[in-house]
Amino acid sequence: MKRIRVALAGNPNVGKSVIFNALTGGRQHVGNWPGKTIEKKEGICYHRGYELYIVDLPGIYSLTTFSPEELIARDYILNEKPDVVVNIVDASNLRRNLYLSIQLMELGARLIIALNKSDLAESLGYEIDEKRLEKNLGVPVVPTVATRKIGLQELCDKIVEVVERGAPPSSITYPEIVEAEIERIRKVLEKDPMIRESYNTRWLAIKLLEGDEEAERRILAKLKGG
Amino acid sequence: MEELRKVLNEAKNRLIESFGLEPDVLLPDIRYRVIEEIVSTSIIREKVELTLTDVIDDAILNKYLGIPVFLSLAWMMFQFTFSVAAPIVDAVDMFFSWIGEIIGEYISNSFLASFLADGIVGGLGTILVFVPNIFFLFLALSALEDSGYLARVAFIFDRLMRKFRLSGRSIIPHLIGFGCNVPGVMATRTIAGENERILTAITNPLISCSARLPVYVLFAGVFFPDNSPTIIFSLYMLGIVLAFLISFVVGRFFLKGKPSPLIMELPEYSMPETRTLLMHMWERGIMFVKKAGTVILAGVIAIWALSNLPLGVKSVEESYLGILGHIMEPLFKPFGWDWRIAVSIVFGFVAKEIVVGALGMIYGVEEEALEHVISQTMTPLSAYAFMTFVLIYVPCVATLAAIKGELGWKWAIFSAIYEVILAYLVALMIMVIGGVMLS
């Protein structure tokens, strides 16, 4: 059976655990992330002849390196390179949630957005055009109501479809001047074969530009460690 | 690597030139703008109704109203803690005096009677009378927490805290510190930035914990009977101001690195449940009582021993305690404290409440009479200097251990040293400035 590695990412309190439990049922394992006291949950779900191996990443608001939770999520996506990252988004709080989505896209993750709590959003008076959102973001969007198991089949369908199609990861475009600088830095990074092979150089270039210390450390380690 | 550095620097400079913003601000800014565009074109209809939480937050999170509202709530909390608890404190006080009398009457062995009446009942009693105050403080804190207000305090103070190299999140460990600095220091774990975490932990002991309360209640009650809640409030405020100042100085001159942003979720306001409130109050308050039964009891016994040894001493003045007091006295002459007051602070290192127990034992009296004796030995100004000294000087052993646990020996020792120096300087300033103002 073919295996698809899926990571669940999202802000705290968006219903991530509910989705994880609904998908994996009793087939899950709870442990700790290596060297940390932060819970790591993994589980398995079978869908259309695939085995979906699902890892529940810690709930986070962004992908900087200020907290161990953010670092775990970021390192997992960078090092383990899951086939698909399902980003669970609270439909009633779109702006805040999408900040993480954009950073996940930038990281080079192949993203699917689960627009969760769509019932709550509706009752609060929101109406979201999912097709438009999908087009604007360049990422598949699946509406879900995790607590009532609505949309989970569609979510699994989308995971399989995205992998079968081999859809390329999407990213946002910065203004031209910024893009030019990112490109210049990326070219320098590409010269090093070690870095080229291990990282998404566009992401690395953006992070270096932002002065991200962890990104700098990674480069130094690669250059020294060979 | 050299080439990369060069390209990066050029890129940063060019971006600053074009946009007037550092790249670490510029890029997130662009991301937010992209999101705004995506959201505004994909949302057909947005929430229009305001919830009650939105309305309250409009006032409470207001740039100008936020801090005044917090200060009034905090002041109300102290009024509640001291005024409402006062009759209960009196009742507990009477109870301990009564026990002391009974022991004196029924135990004939004078050494044993002294150990029980002066040592255990006198020492512990002087501290336990403050249990009602501490329970009421925890009740008020729990009410603020459960209503959802405390989470907002972090947000209100973030702008201000940043100026002092702290984060809005530092306010939570500091608020916990009002109860006890040990959980306060441990709560700094939730602060994201390394520097903010260090600064919050080492300034946490300046936040006046409930163990200082017995000292304040005693001295403020004796020397400022008409406005003791206000005097006590001023000490809490002094602690906060000093925590900010120290944080700024240490952050500015001893630490390197960039501040980290504050992102947090504000819960909806809700009516606190009485049952949960009482449970919180009980859980936290009982910790104080347990401490009284262990650490403080041991400290009190040690003081009793020191004040009655070597065997056969006729007065405390001849005992080891008295000898130590006389050695320390010259150091505290400028503050107008005699040897008894000076030696009492030594024991605050074990736990600050013990200062009161030690005074009770040194004067060989219980709470009620202690108030009378103390009022004879110093001026109100000296008493205020004493309260500030107790507020600031060395964290207690347990707090030091907590700082060591979170940050290592280096910072624990640093905290102890800077606080002793700071305590001495502030007390001295109070004597000098107060002396000039009063004359």
What pLDDT, in 10s, does the model give residues A77-89? 988 999 999 999 9
**Least confident segment among A6-10, A178-182, B313-317:** B313-317
The CA distance from A117 to A120, in Å, is 5
Domain map (residue ranges) of chain A = 2-165, 176-225
More confident of the two residues B31 and B313: B31
The whole-number average pLDDT for the span B338-347 is 84
The whole-number average pLDDT for the span B326-347 is 85
pTM given for the model: 0.58
The CA distance from B179 to B209, in Å, is 5
Is the pLDDT at A100 greater than 90, yes or no? yes
C-alpha distances out from residue B296 to B288, B302, B364, B374, Å: 10, 10, 18, 22
User: Tell me, what's the pLDDT at A64?
Assistant: 78
Supply A32's token pair.
């700790």
The whole-number average pLDDT for the span B267-276 is 78
| Amino acid letter for position A165 | R
Residues shown for chain A: 226
Helices within A25-126 (DSSP H only): 68-75, 94-106, 118-123
Cross-chain Cβ contact B38/A98 below 8 Å: yes
Q: Give the percent of chain B with pLDDT over 70.
A: 91
Cross-chain Cβ contact B24/A211 below 8 Å: yes
Per-residue pLDDT tens for B115-156? 777 677 766 776 677 678 778 878 887 888 788 887 788 788
The pLDDT-based confidence of A163 (bands split at 50, 70, 90) is very high
Helices within A166-200 (DSSP H only): 176-190, 193-198
The DSSP H or E segment spanning A136 is helix A130-137
Range among A97-111, B113-127, B260-274 with highest mean pLDDT value: A97-111
More confident of the two residues B205 and B312: B205
What is the DSSP pairing of strand A28-32 with strand A39-47? antiparallel
Residue with tokens 């460690």: A225
Per-residue pLDDT tens for A27-52? 788 887 776 667 788 999 999 999 99
The whole-number average pLDDT for the span B100-124 is 74
The whole-number average pLDDT for the span A135-139 is 91
B255 backbone dihedrals φ, ψ, rounded to 5°: -120, 150
The whole-number average pLDDT for the span B269-288 is 80
More confident of the two residues B72 and B119: B72
Supply B35's token pair.
């999101």
The CA distance from B24 to B29, in Å, is 9
Contacts of B42 in chain A (CB under 8 A): 128-130, 132-133, 136
**A94 close contact with B: CB closer than 8 A:** yes
Is the pLDDT at A170 greater than 70, yes or no? yes
Cross-chain Cβ contact A209/B14 below 8 Å: no
The pLDDT-based confidence of A113 (bands split at 50, 70, 90) is very high
More confident of the two residues B50 and B18: B18
More confident of the two residues A46 and A222: A46
The CA distance from A133 to A110, in Å, is 17
In the three-class reduction of DSSP (H, G, I as helix; E, B as strand; rest coil), residue A156 is classed as helix
**A99 close contact with B: CB closer than 8 A:** yes
The CA distance from A52 to A60, in Å, is 23
The CA distance from B121 to B97, in Å, is 9
Cross-chain Cβ contact A128/B42 below 8 Å: yes
Average pLDDT, chain B: 82
User: Tell me, what's the pLDDT at B262?
Assistant: 64
Supply B306's token pair.
């020191």
Cross-chain Cβ contact A94/B39 below 8 Å: yes
The whole-number average pLDDT for the span B21-41 is 88
- Nearest chain B Cα distance for residue A129, angstroms: 5
Cross-chain Cβ contact A64/B260 below 8 Å: yes
The whole-number average pLDDT for the span B388-406 is 85
**Least confident segment among A13-27, B11-25, B347-361:** B347-361
The whole-number average pLDDT for the span B105-109 is 75
Is the pLDDT at A225 greater than 60, yes or no? no
Cβ partners under 8 Å of residue B84, min gap 6 = B136
The CA distance from A145 to B270, in Å, is 25
Is the pLDDT at A194 greater than 80, yes or no? yes
Contact indicator for B265, B179 with CB cutoff of 8 Å: no
Contacts of B36 in chain A (CB under 8 A): 95
The whole-number average pLDDT for the span B408-424 is 92
In the three-class reduction of DSSP (H, G, I as helix; E, B as strand; rest coil), residue A50 is classed as strand
**A12 close contact with B: CB closer than 8 A:** yes
Contacts of A67 in chain B (CB under 8 A): 192
User: Tell me, what's the pLDDT at A226?
Assistant: 46
Is the pLDDT at B328 greater than 50, yes or no? yes
User: Tell me, what's the pLDDT at B239?
Assistant: 93
User: Per the CATH hierarchy, to which homologous superfamily does domain A2-165 belong?
Assistant: P-loop containing nucleotide triphosphate hydrolases (3.40.50.300)
More confident of the two residues B104 and B161: B161
- Nearest chain B Cα distance for residue A6, angstroms: 25
**A37 close contact with B: CB closer than 8 A:** no
For A126, the closest of B4, B18, B46 (CB atoms) is B46
Contact indicator for B59, A138 with CB cutoff of 8 Å: no
| Amino acid letter for position B418 | Y
Cβ partners under 8 Å of residue A124, min gap 6 = A92, B47
- Nearest chain A Cα distance for residue B151, angstroms: 16
**A1 close contact with B: CB closer than 8 A:** no
The CA distance from B95 to B133, in Å, is 16
The CA distance from B360 to B122, in Å, is 6
